[in-house]
Every structure is written in structure tokens, then in C-alpha cells.
Chain A
Amino acid sequence: MALPTSEVLTVPAPARRRRRSGLLANGKAVTGLVILGFLTVFAVIGPWIAPYDPGERGDDLLVGPNAQHWFGTTHLGQDILSQILDGTRSVMLVGIVAGLVATVLAIVFGVSSGYFGGTGGEGLSALSNVFLVIPALPLILIITLSLPETNDLTIALVIGFTSWAWGARVLRAQTLSLRRRDYVEAARATGESTWRILGFEILPNLTAVIAASFVSTVIFAVLSEITLAFIGVPGVSEWNWGAILFWAQSQQALAQGAWWWFVPAGLAIALLGTGLALVNFGIDEYVNPRLRGGHQRVRGVRMRVGFTPVLPEEAR
């Protein structure tokens, strides 16, 4: 029962409409991108516009937000706003590097296991499932602690090398279904080279899935890295938001009622996370049209599965 919806929706839109389509027509994605853009600016210029040196001790010990210190100070009189601005770069850099590494691995493992199939494909898929099932954070933790030297880059690499499995799984499923499509079968039958098929027939159709998997990995990487810093794993850059929370926790900020010490860092994390999540929703809705259609109520008409609305006289 192919309800005619799909037929109608695949009819090409007139060019005038098409200009606003795609990801940029999606409110959620745009909001997310604006948030991310805003944070990226801070990641770049943060350390320069910070009013104080984030490590510099001042005379105002543990004071709440005021005109000199917008976000208050630590027990050593350090300016929390400056620490957060300084930490933005490390947080975002680790997230992006880890996301890139994981996405490249996900593409390599996912697409090849989906496209080539057979024992090798099954083996690669089993490998990614192993990485999926092993608890990620403890694994990252023991690897990081085994390394002779840790810094932002090594931590980003460890996260990247351990968190590609989810993306690989999604890409594999997608590749499997693409491989059976007629145009791919046709390309194979006419003897196109494997690389050409992968590069021109498969990958372009995976763009959205790849983007979504990149964004999710960045979310995961950011949270992992902040968590590592919060537990006190050495090597994370000094004013990572997780490190700020680590100091707040270990200096009993809670017991002293110094809420300004941990609230801004948490909100910054939430802002970054929400921005990334919104971009992902946008991609999801772009890939899966069934999720679209936020404007379900127009002029008193409620769209509802199973009960097609009848337009009232005045809405016609």
C-alpha cells in the first residue's frame, strides 16, 4: 500500500522553493550552527579577550559574581570567566580532533565491511561491535593512564580510536542497503572500478549519515574529555571545563556555597552539547522526512495519523 505521499513528495520542487531547502531550511540545525559558531569564536579569541590570566591569583578569594569578576573567583582568587574562556579552545579542539579521527575510522570500517561483505566484512562488523560493547569511558581511562605522556592531542586520539564503532555500525547498515540499489549494481555490472563506485556512487549518498556520526562523536568526545579532566586524569589542558569542575569539587565549592564555581562551566558544556544535538536533529530530519513537520497546527488544523483533517470553511 504505497500511500501516494511519497510519490508527491519526490516531485521536484520549483527552483524558487529549492533555494531554502536542505539543512539551512531547518530551524533546529540553524540554531545549533549559530550556537556552535558563537562558541568557535570564543575558542579562537577566548584567551585574548579573557580579562585576567586564568592562573593568576588575586586578592578577592572565593567571591561571587561582581563587576570585576563576572563569574566570581576561586579559592585562590582566580577569575572563573577567564578560565572558561581559556578552556573553550581545548574543549572544542579535542572534540573536533577526536570526531575527525573516529569518523575516518568509521568510514573505513563501516563502508568496507558493508560494501565488501563476506567473511572479511563480517569480521570487521564483529570488531566494531566489540568496541561498541566494551564500556567506553573505563577503556579510555585505562588506555590514557597507560600512556607514558598525555596531553590534549593524545587524549583526543585515544577517544577517537575508541569511539568509532557506533558510526561504523550505522554506516555499514546504510552501505549494505545502498549496495543493493540498482544504480550500484549497474555500475558493478558494467565493470566500474571498486574505488570509483565507492567514491562516486556510495560515499556521496552517505554524506548526511557521515555528518550525523561526526556530530555524535564530537558530543561524546567532549563529554568524555571533560569527564577525564573532572576525574583528575593528568595531561588535560589546565583550564578545560572539566578541570574547572575538578577544582570546584576538590576545594569543596559545594560545601562553601560557591555555586558560581561550577554552574558556568556546566552551562557552557550544556550549551555546546545542545548546539551539537540540534545540528544532529536537523540532519536526522533531513535524512528521515517522517521526522519533519514541526508546524502541525495551522489555522486550527491538527495533522494526525489515522484521522485526516477536514479543513474548516474559513481555512480553504
Chain B
Amino acid sequence: MSGEPVLDIRGLSVDYGLGDAAVHAVRDVSLTLHRGEVLGLAGESGSGKSTLAYGMLRLLPPPGVVRSGQVFYHPGDDEPVELMSLSAKRLRRFRWAEVAIVFQGAMNSLNPVHTVATQLTDVIAAHEPRTTPAARRARAVELLTLVGINADRLGSFPHQLSGGMRQRVMIAMALALEPRVVVMDEPTTALDVVMQRQILAKLVELRERIGFSVLFITHDLSLLVEFSDRIAIMYGGRIVEDAPAGQLYRDSLHPYSDGLLHSFPALRGPRRELTGIPGSPPDLRAMPSGCAFHPRCPKAFDPCAERTPTLLAPDGREDQNRTVACWLHTADRAMT
């Protein structure tokens, strides 16, 4: 499962705005995606999960800026590539060929004035300029078939497709250059439940056949429990817990993860009591001191309001391949 790292985020901080007016949306986040792994990234809206994903690919529109940190991409045999220091030209070549994205709500992700064929082939033409138009078209047919869409849809415009079909076109597009990493940003949020299942089943099937790694961003933790290998939970711009999916589900350590798990009905497994989390997500402009979650935390105690906990292996479970940022579990070492 956890093989070589393919994407390695180290101490990434992302702001909106500059100087004193800057809002720190992502704070010193480190996260590793391994080869062949599905890594889930969960959190409430405003927790910084999408900012993290777009920030690491430098796709955030103004006023987004990367304040500090590094993101290494390991292409396998070659030297790793550091994304934050790439020139615009090399970044353009890197994008989609190595890391592709399936965007949230395919409605606006497709250019309304071009056909499906144009949008599938232009990305091939941009990265493999020596291919012939006929070869690109053949590849586009192949891609559509892969996601279960008839080839006669090539000439369709986005508005002529259903929501589910548009999302499948986006997935086909993401696979066009056979990237090693696919980032999925709430890929099924805009769809109905039946369509969600179909799309996710398709994804699982394709991943098994093609073997890419997935960074799966969603606020729906129950989906992650089912489909991902590891889960990282974000709160207030930081990762608060990072653990294998099964462990997190059975035995979450951070009170926030616990709250999130109790906010959704589980699709499989034993029934749980639904409680939800009291209060609302923090204001990024005026973050609480110490642990950002402490004002909402049922288990908050002395150090929580004063000092920010760091992401460390929990006390007594150093062998479990998981980390948590909570004074309940890392008190011993952090106090010293």
C-alpha cells in the first residue's frame, strides 16, 4: 500500500492577499501521497483543503499566494521536481502530464463554447505536439469509451450533456496524458446519489486498471472511509490528523475527526450515533489562539487555548503510522 512517495508537500503555507491584509488559509502543512494510494483530504468548507490542493499546483487565482514551503514530485526514476521553484514554462509542461485534476461540479469546468472533442484533444496537442489530429481524435474516442461514453458524443457541447456525463468527460480528460497523480476536488458533490456511486465505482475500476495515485478532497468523510487508503483531516488551515482510513474510522484520536465522523451516517459497518459538531468553523482572519479547534472542542483543557499542538505520532502508538495534532495525545513530548 504505502510504497514510494509520489507527491511530498513540506511546510506549505498559502495566503490570500499580501502583507498585513493577508489571510493565512493554509498553515505549514506537510503531507505525503504515496504511489498507488488514495489519500483522502477532509474538512469543513473553509478548512483550507481546496486551497492546499490548488496552492500546491500553483493554480490559485489572485489574491492567492504561496508564502512558504516546498512540494516535491517524484517521477519514479528521475530526480524529484520542486513545484514552487519551477518556471512558468516548465510548470506548464508539468501540469496535467504528471498531475491532473478532476474539478468540483463539472458544469463550469468545461469551456461552454468548445466541443468535447476540442477540449479533449487540445490538452494532447499542447503536451504532445507531434501527434497527428487523427491520432488525437482516436485517443479522445478511446478516453470517452474508457469512462463509458459513446464516441458520438465527441461533437457535443457541454450544455448538451447531463451532469453525470460532464463529470465523466472531466475524468476522461484527466486521464488523457496518463498522469501519475489525479487530484479529485469534490468530484461528485454536484451529482445525485446514484450518479455519485456510478462515478466513484468507475474511478475505482480505472485506478485498478491504470494505477494512478489519487488525492481525494471532500467534506463527505463517509465517502473517504469507503474509498480511500489514508485520510488526512484539515481544520483551520492545518492538518489535525493523518491516519490509515480504517484506523481513523474505528479509532479517531482528534476530537474534530471524531465530530466529523459523527456528522455523517455511515454507509457500511456498525451504526453510530449522529451528533455533529457544535459551533462554526473559525474565522481565518481572527483565528483562536493555541489549537484552532479549542473553542468548539468538548475535551479542551489547559494547554489548548495557549499553545498550538504540532502534528506528531500519538503517545503510545508510535508504531501505527499515524499522526495527530492534539494535546490529548501528544502532551508528553510537546510539554518538554
Contact = CB atoms under 8 A, between A and B. Distances in A.
A307 B58 contact: yes
Interface of B: 14, 16, 18-19, 23, 25, 45-46, 48, 50-51, 54-55, 58-68, 84-85, 88, 91, 103-105, 108-109, 185-186, 283-286
Contact of A1 (B45, B66, B91, B109): B109
A202 B62 CA distance: 31
B46 A310 contact: no
A304 B105 CA distance: 24
Contacts of B85: 310
Contacts of B285: 11, 13-14
Given A4-B51, A7-B46, A301-B65, A308 B58 contact: yes
A29 B147 CA distance: 52
B284 A8 contact: yes
Contact of A308 (B45, B59, B185): B59
A3 B67 contact: no
A298 B50 contact: no
Contact of A3 (B18, B60, B84, B283): B60
Nearest to A309: B65
B83 to A, nearest CB: 9
A301 B104 contact: no
B46 A311 contact: no
Contacts of B108: 1
Interface residues on A, range: 20 to 34
Given A1-B109, A2-B50, A11 B91 contact: no
Interface string A291-312: 0010010110101111111110
Given A5-B16, A8-B16, A296 B62 contact: yes
A304 B62 contact: yes
Contact of A316 (B50, B67, B286): B67
Interface string A54-90: 0000000000000000000000000000000000000
Contacts of A5: 16, 60-61, 63-64
Contacts of A310: 58, 65-66, 84-85
Contact of B50 (A3, A12, A304, A311): A3
B62 A1 contact: no
A94 to B, nearest CB: 42
Closest 6 CB pairs of A and B: A303-B62, A1-B103, A1-B104, A308-B58, A308-B60, A310-B66
A301 B18 contact: yes
Given A5-B63, A308-B59, A310-B85, 18 more contacts: A1-B105, A3-B50, A3-B54, A4-B25, A5-B16, A8-B16, A8-B25, A8-B46, A13-B285, A293-B62, A293-B63, A299-B18, A303-B63, A305-B62, A308-B14, A308-B54, A308-B60, A311-B68
A14 B286 contact: yes
Contacts of B66: 308-311
Contacts of A4: 25, 45-46, 48, 50-51
A24 to B, nearest CB: 18
B54 to A, nearest CB: 6
Nearest to A12: B283
11 contacts: A1-B108, A1-B185, A3-B50, A4-B50, A5-B60, A13-B285, A298-B18, A301-B18, A303-B62, A309-B66, A310-B58
Contacts of A296: 62
A1 B51 CA distance: 11
Given A8-B23, A298-B19, A308 B64 contact: yes
Nearest to B189: A2
Contact of A307 (B23, B88, B186): B88
Contact of B91 (A8, A13, A307): A307
B55 A308 contact: yes
A7 B58 contact: no
Nearest to A306: B59
Contacts of B50: 1-4
